[in-house]
């Protein structure tokens, strides 16, 4: 970290800042300039909190040289991380392109079983479905909660599929982790730090979605919580961000896929359903993400999207998913061989 002082800062100011740095177990290094002095803080192993300096009168600004994450960064861990889901599905690195699909929410036994049966026929091994739903309005369907988790556990046993579901609060994480293979932390909870810490203590892989207005740095810092807690199995999921544009539900930020892959060793997948909010835009954007370098996609599909209790307009019909899955397999293969 660099502490930049106002031009009028005195020797006494510098001395007192140096003392604070030393008290934190770090080393101050004066960097005199023509206009003003800066003090470099060295010797830190990770992120240094700038709070003790920010409010001092003589300090003009603090500049973080060290990123707020370390364990998730490529500098720290140059090789790609391959996350194992269940016993045999792998994602990240050169693993096959991963397709996760399922309804936004579990709505009942018939709906989830029909979907699972269809996905298995497509060769799709990971089912997504929400039991605890983070809905904007409290009047909207909130999910089947515990009952939904029970149904997911049934699906998993009946079809031998891996299941992923969202966890909204730390209190539920242990119970949910007993019944599912992969935990999802949704966009709205990307900075629920208690939840991130709890996910760090879990043995289950975690799909961490990017927050609605989160910067890449904030997203990676959230992933850092999980790794720091002792769980290295994190998959990042870009799901679109909020911008001035309202023509699509969110704005698909595909550029961050290659960017994040350069900054971090973690696998990165894309969710074109929430990124666009429109089923007609899902196939082209899913395919685009393959070319951008995504390790996989997460798609919403429903046996009867018109009757879905949540996210119907962005959910694919079975026949649309079947067509898209065929194209994904072909394009992923082509990209792997040619790029």
The least CB distance from residue 188 to ligand PEP, in Å, is 6
- Determine the Cα–Cα distance for residues 229 and 312; give it in Å rounded to an integer: 36
Please tell me whether residue 206 adopts helix, strand or coil conformation.
strand
Kindly state the smallest distance separating residue 334's Cβ from ligand PEP, in Å. Answer: 28
Backbone angles phi, psi at 206, to 5 degrees: -125, 130
User: Which CA distances in Å does 147 have to 93, 138, 166?
Assistant: 36, 19, 14
Tokens 């960064």 belong to 73
Cβ partners under 8 Å of residue 246, min gap 6: none
Cα separations (Å) of 53 from 24, 58, 318? 12, 9, 57
Partner whose binding site includes residue 297, from Mn ion, ligand PEP, none (CB under 5 to 8 Å by kind)? none
- CA distance linking residue 70 with residue 83, whole number of Å: 18
3-state secondary structure of 54: helix
Its sign, for the CA torsion 230, 231, 237, 242, is negative
Contact by Cβ (8 Å): 308, 103: yes
Residue of minimal Cβ distance to ligand PEP? 186
40 CB-near residues (< 8 Å, 6+ apart) = 1, 2, 3, 28, 29, 30, 31
Question: Which one among 62, 311, 315, 321 touches Mn ion, defined by CB under 5 A?
Answer: 311
Residue in the shown chain whose Cβ atom is closest to Mn ion:
104
Q: Which of 48, 85, 104, 309 binds Mn ion (CB under 5 A)?
A: 104
Q: Which span sits near ligand PEP by CB under 6 A: 35-43, 186-194, 257-265, 324-332?
A: 186-194
* Partner in contact with 93, chosen from ligand PEP, Mn ion, none, beta carbon below 5 to 8 Å by kind: none
Radius of gyration of the chain (CA): 23
State in angstroms the smallest separation of the CB of 310 from Mn ion: 6
Q: Which residues make beta-bridge pairs with 99?
A: 297
| CB nearer ligand PEP, residue 156 or residue 209 | 209
Quick check: 277 binds ligand PEP (CB under 6 A)?
no
In the stretch 76-115, what mask flags binding to ligand PEP with x, by CB under 6 A? ----------------------------x-----------
Closest distance between ligand PEP and the C-beta of residue 56, in Å? 39
Among 92, 143, 148, 186, interactor with ligand PEP by CB under 6 A:
186
Query: How near is the Cβ of 104 to Mn ion at its closest, in Å?
Result: 3
Return the number of the residue (9 or 275) whose C-beta is nearest ligand PEP. Answer: 275
Q: How many angstroms separate the Cα of 221 from the Cα of each of 62, 211, 270?
A: 19, 12, 19
Q: Which residue among 209, 261, 265, 295 contacts ligand PEP (CB under 6 A)?
A: 209
Full DSSP string of 274-312? HHH--GGGHHHHHHHHHHHT-SEEEEEB-SSGGG-SS-G
The one of ligand PEP, Mn ion, none whose footprint includes residue 209, by CB under 5 to 8 A per kind, is ligand PEP
- Choose, by CB under 6 A, the member of 130, 283, 296, 303 that binds ligand PEP: 130
| Closest distance to Mn ion from the beta carbon of 300 (Å) | 6
- Per-residue contact flags (x/-) with ligand PEP for residues 216 to 245, judged by CB under 6 A: -----------------------x------
Residues at the interface with ligand PEP (CB under 6 A):
104, 130, 134, 186-188, 209, 239, 274
């Amino acid at each position: 970290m660099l502490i930049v002082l106002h031009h009028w800062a005195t020797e006494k100011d510098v001395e007192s800042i140096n003392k604070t740095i030393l008290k934190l177990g770090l080393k101050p290094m004066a960097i005199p300039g023509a206009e003003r002095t800066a003090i470099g803080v060295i010797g830190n192993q990770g992120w240094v909190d700038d709070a003790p300096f920010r409010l001092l009168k003589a300090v003009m600004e603090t500049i973080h040289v060290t990123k707020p994450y370390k364990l998730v960064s490529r500098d720290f861990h140059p090789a790609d991380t391959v996350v194992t889901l269940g016993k045999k599905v792998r994602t990240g690195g050169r693993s096959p392109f991963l397709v996760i699909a399922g309804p936004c929410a579990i709505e009942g036994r018939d709906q989830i079983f029909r979907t699972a049966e269809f996905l298995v026929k497509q060769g799709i091994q990971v089912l997504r479905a929400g039991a605890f739903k983070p809905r904007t309005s409290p009047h909207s369907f909130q999910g089947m909660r515990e009952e939904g988790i029970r149904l997911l556990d049934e699906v998993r046993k009946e079809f031998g599929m891996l299941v992923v579901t969202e966890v909204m609060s730390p209190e539920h994480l242990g119970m949910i982790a007993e019944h599912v293979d992969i935990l999802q932390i949704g966009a709205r909870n990307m900075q629920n730090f208690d939840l991130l810490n709890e996910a760090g203590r879990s043995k289950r892989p975690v799909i961490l979605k990017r927050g609605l207005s989160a910067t890449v740095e904030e997203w990676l810092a959230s992933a850092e919580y999980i790794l720091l807690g002792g769980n290295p199995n994190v998959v990042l999921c870009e799901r679109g961000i909020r911008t001035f544009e309202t023509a699509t539900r969110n704005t698909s930020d595909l550029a961050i896929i290659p960017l994040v892959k350069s900054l971090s060793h973690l696998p990165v997948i894309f969710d074109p359903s929430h990124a666009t909010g429109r089923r007609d835009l899902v196939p082209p954007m899913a395919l685009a993400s393959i070319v951008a370098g995504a390790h996989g996609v997460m798609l919403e599909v429903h046996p009867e999207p018109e009757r879905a209790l949540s996210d119907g307009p962005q959910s694919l019909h079975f026949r649309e998913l079947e067509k898209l899955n065929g194209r994904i397999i072909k394009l992923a293969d082509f990209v792997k061989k040619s790029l």
